A and B are shown apart, each in its own frame.
Chain A
């Protein structure tokens, strides 16, 4: 048998201390990110689907409609990046639900990381994963639309990141609130449809039917789409939209954490 590491050498390493908290949150987030890189074909196929949607659907529609002052292709291109990041951010909920069913969550909860850091790590991981996922799509849009202002791009990415962070919180909230797998799938799919379709991501509010236009301004996807367009096209900051996004993040991360703790303490995953 080969040499085995000894406890003495294990104990000679510095123990986990308070200053390592950030490192643990980051490691927890990287775990979610690394899973994405293990399945690069998902990024490639979804990017291809995005390109086809853009160059077939958006191109075709933009030639069918003619609204003065509206470049629909550009509108749709930016919006579909936003809708895509919202969609991919929901995936973390599926991951957590699956982990709970398979017992991996029990393992994760024995690791030396506080529950609060655990939640932040997972939400951060989900958001980082979503950002990495849409970067190829964002680059395609930036190249064809000529978005080259670094500050505008950074500001748009910030909006996207906030949206992703909040949606992961929302997704975690649903994952720990719904017990049945079927119900979970339906609830998450409906929620995703509601926040993405009833938003200004893919079509302007002026063309929406009344029953959608009433809700659309309050969708977090609208906040992100509006602020991303303001940054990239108008070179301005849409502060109300950013404030809305921050509020969305705070509310749903808080809710996610609260539901998570309640479920865990109740031993729901037994």
Chain B
């Protein structure tokens, strides 16, 4: 179990993480969802004993990260957002050395593990290629592979599928799920909604260094009033006032981003003609209309007031 108790990290005058509290259960996949700069990486580096928290405490399986950093390091493996590999070394050497540092496996077992994972990730043919000569996607797979060969008790992935094509993304998700099925606790930091929704059992929304919400994706969607979202794109939204639509009792919230209006409501099908009439009578030209169920993206917008790009 991992516990953040009012953890904070301050760099100079900037609070990268502030009053962050969450408990991550053994064997769960937790998605840390937030925009770039939200503090996700700082959280992971504090948990991984690279940064010392400036306030609060963090414990990993009962070990305080400040008092027992060496014990914590034995439990955790982190795959970074940007591949952190020695460019001059080959993929095989990078993974083999990683296993030498993190496990007591003999040469035969190390080779077997590296071979298995590299073959699964379609990197076996390129195993001798120096990583600085690899494409961004290949390097990213090598970074993820470090944790997939190590199979630590606590596996942390920072944007695990950035730079990857769709088949590779699906494959990495599958391999991460396998890791969890074998008993690892998995933390996935991401700014991709579909990744958080499809991979995580629980999603923690992080914004400006703070924990905004933490529930299962379905529970989070349930916290958004209405259950439906009407997305309207106006020709020119500069004169739009949300109060214009709030007169309808079925509408719970209205948010605007430039020309896009998000209406959180019930009975969207019945209400749609009335909304269109209201806007048209005020001189707004509607370019497109889309009625959908609440998504994690809408949840994020509701909690943070911004979209994840």
Contacts and interface: CB of A to CB of B under 8 A. Distances in A.
A63 interface: no
Contact of A16 (B48, B82, B102): B102
A244 B89 CA distance: 37
A110 B119 CA distance: 26
Which of A8, A20, A35, A106 is most buried by chain B, counting CB atoms within 10 A of its CB? Answer: A106
Kindly state the interface size class of chain B when it binds its partner.
35 or more
B221 interface: no
Interface in A26-61: 27-28, 31, 34-35, 38-39
Contacts of B151: 5-7, 10
B272 interface: no
Contact of A27 (B48, B74, B80, B101): B101
Interface string B63-86: 000000110011011101010111
Nearest to A26: B100
A114 B109 CA distance: 25
Contact of B101 (A34, A39, A111, A114): A111
B218 interface: no
B187 to A, nearest CB: 13
Contacts of B77: 110
A110 B104 contact: no
A7 B182 contact: yes
A110 B184 contact: no
A110 B74 contact: no
Interface stretch (B49-57, B199-207, B243-251): B49-57
Contact of B119 (A2, A7, A11, A16): A2
A112 B70 contact: yes
B76 A110 contact: yes
B42 interface: yes
Contact of B105 (A13, A27, A38): A13
Nearest to B80: A107
Interface string B125-156: 00000100000000000000000111111000
Interface in B166-218: 171, 174-175, 178-179, 182-184
B121 to A, nearest CB: 10
B73 A112 contact: yes
B19 interface: no
Contacts of A31: 86, 97
A15 interface: yes
A113 B86 contact: no
Contact of B102 (A38, A39, A112, A270): A112
A114 B85 contact: no
Contact of B120 (A2, A38, A103): A2
Contacts of B179: 7
A106 B16 CA distance: 17
Interface stretch (B28-36, B110-118, B300-308): B110-118
A193 interface: no
B276 interface: no
A110 B47 CA distance: 9
A110 B44 CA distance: 10
Contact of A3 (B50, B73, B116): B116
A34 B86 CA distance: 11
A14 interface: yes
Contacts of B1: none
A14 B104 contact: yes
Contact of B109 (A13, A15, A16): A13
Contacts of A111: 73, 101-102
Contacts of A112: 70, 73-74, 101-102
B93 interface: yes
B234 interface: no
Contacts of B11: 267, 270
B45 interface: yes
Interface of A: 1-8, 10-11, 13-16, 20, 24, 27-28, 31, 34-35, 38-39, 102-104, 106-107, 109-114, 264-265, 267, 270
Question: What are the 3 closest A-B residue pairs judged by CB atoms, nearest first?
Answer: A7-B182, A107-B84, A112-B73
10 contacts: A4-B120, A11-B183, A15-B74, A38-B88, A103-B80, A110-B76, A114-B69, A267-B11, A270-B11, A270-B42
